[in-house]
């Protein structure tokens, strides 16, 4: 059984395990229920990270709703300047710009995963990412109405969905690694269940996947930005 999940979900796992001992005499059935606990534990971890991202979205939309008119004008000017800047760039250049933003979040998660005390800060990353998207999409809806909704759905959200899934996967990997290091320091674990090589290789795979998000952003922007007048 995965030690990290045993630490995160001890009561739930022990409950299933005790049930298996009392009702199922076979050793195979016991193993099955322990593995089932691990699967459900992983699902709750992902849901918790997704809930933190949703919290960031909510806070961002509330922030946009309570912003002063002067602040909203500044955001409008910033968005227009970004639009003019991106209009003179190629699809590849725009993709590289989006990839750079994703890379910074991934780098932060990667480094925090190598720190035994990185867990609290890792929980902040989904909130911060959701906060930025919530502010932007909420402001677009309030100031542009249906035009803002269309801009968000066709330009912002396709790449944001991919980026969010990648970021949540990064946080999950880093939380597991950070938890291993913390338990090793506390003497509860002899060695990390995820080796540094595995940790790096998983991040490399997620980094490659982030290219898809960058390309989606660049393609959606080039195809639909001319439809909207902001």
Q: What are 96-119's pLDDT values in tens digits?
A: 889 998 999 999 999 999 998 888
Nearest to 10 by CA among 171, 188, 138: 188
- Residue 35 dihedral angles phi and psi, to the nearest 5°: -70, -35
Tokens of 161: 């969905």
Is the per-residue pLDDT at 21 higher than 90?
no
205, two tokens = 């795979």
Of 164, 177, 163, give the one whose Cα is nearest residue 119.
177
What percent helix, strand, coil does the chain show, rounded to 5? 85, 0, 15
Q: Of the ranges 7-11, 39-43, 72-76, which is most confident?
A: 72-76
Take residue 8 and report the two structure tokens written for it.
């995160």
Query: What average pLDDT is seen over the chain?
Result: 78
- Answer whether 168's CB lies under 8 Å from 104's CB: no
pLDDT surpasses 80 at 166? yes
Structure tokens at 183: 């338990």
Say how far apart CA 41 and CA 214 lie, in whole Å. Answer: 31
Number of separate domains in the chain = 1
Q: What angle do CA 28, 31, 35 make, to 5 degrees?
A: 140
Write out the H or E segment, with its range, that includes residue 1. none
* pLDDT of 58: 92
Q: How many CB atoms lie within 10 A of CB 55?
A: 15
The answer on pLDDT for 33 being more than 60 is no
> What is the secondary structure of 178-193 as a DSSP string?
HHHHHHHHTTS-SS-S
Whole domain around residue 11: which residue ranges?
3-227
Contact 176, 189 (CB under 8 A): no
């Amino acid at each position: 059984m995965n030690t990290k999940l045993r630490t995160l979900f001890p009561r739930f796992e022990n409950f299933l395990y005790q049930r298996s001992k009392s009702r199922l005499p076979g050793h195979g059935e016991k193993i099955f229920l322990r593995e089932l606990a691990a699967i459900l534990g992983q699902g709750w971890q992902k849901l918790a990270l997704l809930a933190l991202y949703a919290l960031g979205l909510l806070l961002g939309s509330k922030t946009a709703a309570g912003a002063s008119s002067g602040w909203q004008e500044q955001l409008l000017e910033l968005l227009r300047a970004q639009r003019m800047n991106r209009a003179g760039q190629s699809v590849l250049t725009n993709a590289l710009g989006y990839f750079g933003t994703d890379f910074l979040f991934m780098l932060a998660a990667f480094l925090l995963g190598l720190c035994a005390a990185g867990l609290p800060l890792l929980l902040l990353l989904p909130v911060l990412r959701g906060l930025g998207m919530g502010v932007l999409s909420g402001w677009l809806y309030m100031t542009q109405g249906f035009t803002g909704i269309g801009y968000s759905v066709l330009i912002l959200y396709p790449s944001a969905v991919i980026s969010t899934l990648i970021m949540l996967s990064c946080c999950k990997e880093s939380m597991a690694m950070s938890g291993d290091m913390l338990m090793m320091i506390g003497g509860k674990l002899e060695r990390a269940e995820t080796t540094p090589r595995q940790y790096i290789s998983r991040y490399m795979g997620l980094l490659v996947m982030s290219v898809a998000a960058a390309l989606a952003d660049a393609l959606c922007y080039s195809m639909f930005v001319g439809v909207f007048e902001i």
